[in-house]
Amino acid sequence: MKPVSIGRRRLLQAAAAGTISLTMNPAIAATTPLITRPIPSSGERLPVIGLGTYQVFDVPESRLAATELQAVLRRFGELGGKVIDSSPMYGHAEAATGTLATALKLRPKLFYATKVWTSGRDAGIRQMEESFRLMQTKTIDLMQVHNLLDLKTHLPVLRDWKKSGRIRYLGITHYHAGTHAELERLVKSGDFDFVQFNYSLDEPEAEARLLPACADAGVATLINRPFSQAGLFGRVRGKPLPPWCAEIDCNSWAQFFLKWIVSHPAVTCAIPGTGRVAHIEDNLAAATGRLPDAATRKKMGTWFNAL
């Protein structure tokens, strides 16, 4: 039976109490270079670990001071992080991102990705204009059609906005593996710079066809749910890291999960979400040091699947 899922916070609390064995990462220094990958359509390079805002950034402005989010975003920028992904469906996340990045004067260093998630041309334009306002920016680096909703209607507008420079890149997203065949068809069309989908040790389906299709078509990939909504941490509860993790400079379970993902050559950037400074440091450490080769990736998958 699959173990009950627990979040990383509970896992770390248990480790602190001495009830489980967990290796923590050493501090990542601001001078440590992050591993980067090129966006195939332009050659622009992005760090392989970014920041997702789903749930964790859904905080109204009046409550931001009571969270670690400003410190998280500050540390993200200090360590060289760039990609921050949001959506109108994430509640206050776009507004929180814009408010914090503006206060920290980080906008020029960040790569803003957000989405359009509505039906109809006029509704799409209104929603995207609101994203510009909430994120306090004149240019959005990547605009994605979320879950392919009304793609045919939004695509002409997005093509025009890309041509005029309002957006720099155009993408599509979907969370369900059942859409991989459609995503594969679309990435081959030549219309899109990015595609975003789930991929993790718990959801490896994209390896079969979608990731190879993205590589062949020259389409960048953003990986969401890299921890399978914290479910991966439940799978390793009470487990020490395998000793051979030292060979890939892996010092925590978060790094284990993320290094497995970003070592796939067709992965451009994984976007784990967090509202904790310790977690952003841990996540970005996965973008440093050695990455697993194909044989080690296979060993990691075999080890994980045997849990």
Domain boundaries, the chain: 43-305
Please tell me what DSSP assigns to residue 273: B
Quote the radius of gyration of the chain (alpha carbons, Å): 19
Q: Which of 1-5, 24-28, 112-116, 152-156 has the lowest mean pLDDT?
A: 1-5
Exposure on the CB side of residue 70, measured as CA atoms within 13 A: 12
How far apart (Å, rounded) are the C-alpha atoms in residues 207 and 211? 5
pLDDT at 19 > cutoff 80:
no
Are 210 and 175 in contact by the 8 Å Cβ rule? The answer is: no
The predicted-structure confidence for 68-112, as pLDDT tens digits, reads as follows 999 999 999 999 999 999 999 999 999 999 999 999 999 999 999
Neighbours of 303 (CB within 10 A): 15
Q: Looking at beta carbons, which pairs linking 65-74 to residues 24 or more positions away fall under 8 Å?
A: 67/275, 68/275, 68/276, 68/277, 69/96, 69/100, 69/275, 70/100, 70/103, 70/104, 71/277, 72/274, 72/275, 72/276, 72/277, 72/280, 73/97, 73/100, 73/101, 73/104, 73/106, 74/104, 74/106
Whole-number pLDDT of residue 196: 98
Q: Between 215 and 307, where is the model more confident?
A: 215
- Note whether 247 and 290 are within 8 A (CB): yes
What is residue 180's three-state secondary structure? helix
State the fold for domain 43-305: TIM Barrel (3.20.20)
CA atoms within 13 A on the CB side of 140: 28
206 DSSP assignment: G
Give the integer Cα–Cα distance in Å for 84 and 183.
Answer: 22
Please compute the mean of the pLDDT values over residues 180-205 and round it to a whole number: 96
Residues 124-142 have pLDDT tens digits of 999 999 999 999 999 999 9
